[in-house]
Amino acid sequence: MEESKAMRKLRVCVATCNRADYSKLAPIMFGIKANPDEFELEVVVLGSHLIDDYGNTFRMIEQDDFDIGSKLHTIVRGEDEAAMVESVGLALVKLPDVLHRLRPDVLVVHGDRFDALALATAAALMNIRILHLEGGEVSGTIDDSIRHAISKLAHYHACCTRTAEQHLIAMCEDHTRILLAGCPSYDKLLAAHHRDDYMDIIRNWLGDNVKEDNYIVALQHPVTTDIKNSIKIYELMLDALISFNKRTLVLFPNIDAGSKEMVRVMRKKGVEQHPNFRAVKHVPFEQFIQLVCHAGAMIGNSSCGVREAGAFGTPVINLGSRQTGRETGENVLHVRDADTQNKIYHALELQFGKRYPCSKIYGDGNAVPRILKFLQTIDLDEPLQKTFCFPPVKEWDISQDIDHILETQSALAVDLGGTNLRVAIVSMRGKIVKKYTQANPKTYEARIELILKMCAEAVFDAVHLNCRILGVGIGGGIIQHNELIHGSTFCAAELGHIMVSLDGPECMCGSRGCIEAYASGMALQKEAKRLHDEELLEVEGMVDLKKAESISAIHLINAARLGNRKAEAVLRTAGMALGVGIVNILHMVNPSLVILSGVLAAHYQAPVQQVIDQRALTSAQSIQVLTSDLEEPALLGAASMVLDYTTRRIY
């Protein structure tokens, strides 16, 4: 009997290769284990976890009460380039049997290690879905190539920063399969770095006499693309630390090519016997973050220095090129050409004992819930074959796909105006295929109901008009680098509610002095009615307003055109208010051009230009104000965002 889809648990295999990736994977593993009704967890351990020289760190996984389903000895000793290649080959020989036995729905792989590349390669060839953590980042060594290669093999991505997300999209990964989660290790470190027993941990690793903020944590790894230079930097770092004469915890380097030579340098310098130094192979992550959090400085080239240490404001000296491309907080001082002991020593003098603002570039402490929710959305019935979102290379009219030949790629655009609500079907070429207009209701609920009703009508009509709707765009927003800025609550760019006066007219939003309260069509209609009620609107040459069904902004404009000074004053005030608001916008985003649209644009052009000339900073005074002669620019702009966004990601 086929397993019920409703009762189906997701079989998740987490594979960990070393102490560093376990610190990122462990929070996810705990989260999976805490949800047994949703997930089945399998743990595979390989790589340096199983080597005594690197601390046999698989034991900390067992101490965390995880059942290790498979232990694979995959490291060929030698710590050189050939040994790394042979280790990848050995892993590829051993992994198929394990993956075939476990049959996971999803394999979770972290980062940029050669072991992880073997995992991703094996899983991809065996048709196992892959979730890759920390893709899209840039560090500056061979790790970049490995990381990006894993991203191309992976089916899903949980990345840490907005920049990494944009890199993955630029690499043609499907944006619907990318989660901006933050770094999972931040979930633990942000919750745990205020432990009351941190001094006990510091004394346990560094001795009873050491004080908070008065010791150094050093962790330097080899750079496999420049082993000779990285060993030289390591030697200079140790010399500088010996001269600096502070208590220092030195962690052994990882297993990359060149690590054996680094250990030789460390022993040649007598670090393990030096009274100021404590050299260790491994520190449990929960204790390590306490040591980093309360250190006077961290030095080396570990990703921990440019990622986790920033969350504490710990001063960091980053040596060499291994983390060149990483995003960092202001706590990191880079010594890229660490070619002298004095340069490193001077960096220690500058950084030691400082405290910096805490940075959350890499996470806010909620990565694991996001990742678990993301895993739950994986549809195992979806085709396994990856699709890449390449940019279009052909004109639409020469497409050889029958769907594109027979259908017009289109968007629904919505313009929520003060007076009217408009919806339009807009084609790829900017043609308004059909437009719908209704009076804008007064309440929020009625507006939403009407928008949905009008959009449903347009979608129904689109079928008969042979239009394929790719999405819906609502007018109003700020576009930067072809992307819509959403804001924290998806309400960015309420430009109409920029306040230009503290005691101006009341706005529909409940505030006073908004641009909309001065310069919108409804605001002018309100002023026109006021003048009409006071019998101050009519002038010679105007039609008899007593016969008009309703007074509108057009009547105010006509009165001003015929010399009505009261109407002129209203338009002048509205134009100046709009101009002041636009000056504020110029000072924030510094565009190259201002384009006004709508029936009032021609009346506002001159006063807005005048306010810019008089009140804008020198950098913005040369900006020209133009009026748009496009048909329905708000609708076209909203549609263009949908059409650009979707077509960039379809191919």
Token pair, residue 24, equals 């990122």
Find, among 20, 266, 262, the residue nearest to 143 by Cα.
20
State the binding site: 497, 507, 509, 514
Residue 173 in contact with residue 157, Cβ under 8 Å? yes
Strand-pair category, 420-427 with 408-416: antiparallel
What distance in Å separates the CA atoms of residue 282 and residue 57, rounded to the nearest whole number?
7
Q: Which residue has the tokens 């960091």?
A: 316
- Maximum CA extent, the chain: 102
Q: How far is CA 438 from CA 420, 445, 447, in A?
A: 6, 15, 10
State the binding site for Zn(2+): 497, 507, 509, 514
What 3 state SS string does 20-73 have?
HHHHHHHHHHHHHHCCCCCEEEEEEEEHHHHCHHHCCCHHHHHHCCCCEEEEEC
What distance in Å separates the CA atoms of residue 351 and residue 297, rounded to the nearest whole number?
7
Residue 469: φ, ψ to 5° = -80, 120
Residue 299 in contact with residue 319, Cβ under 8 Å? yes
Token pair, residue 328, equals 């960092």
CA 295 to chain centre: 29
Opening angle at CA 270, ends 265 and 274, nearest 5: 135
What distance in Å separates the CA atoms of residue 43 and residue 22, rounded to the nearest whole number?
11
Residue 524 in contact with residue 553, Cβ under 8 Å? yes
Residue 39 in contact with residue 32, Cβ under 8 Å? yes
Find, among 295, 367, 364, 366, the residue nearest to 331 by Cα.
295
Strand-pair category, 129-133 with 106-110: parallel
What distance in Å separates the CA atoms of residue 141 and residue 160, rounded to the nearest whole number?
19
Opening angle at CA 245, ends 242 and 249, nearest 5: 75
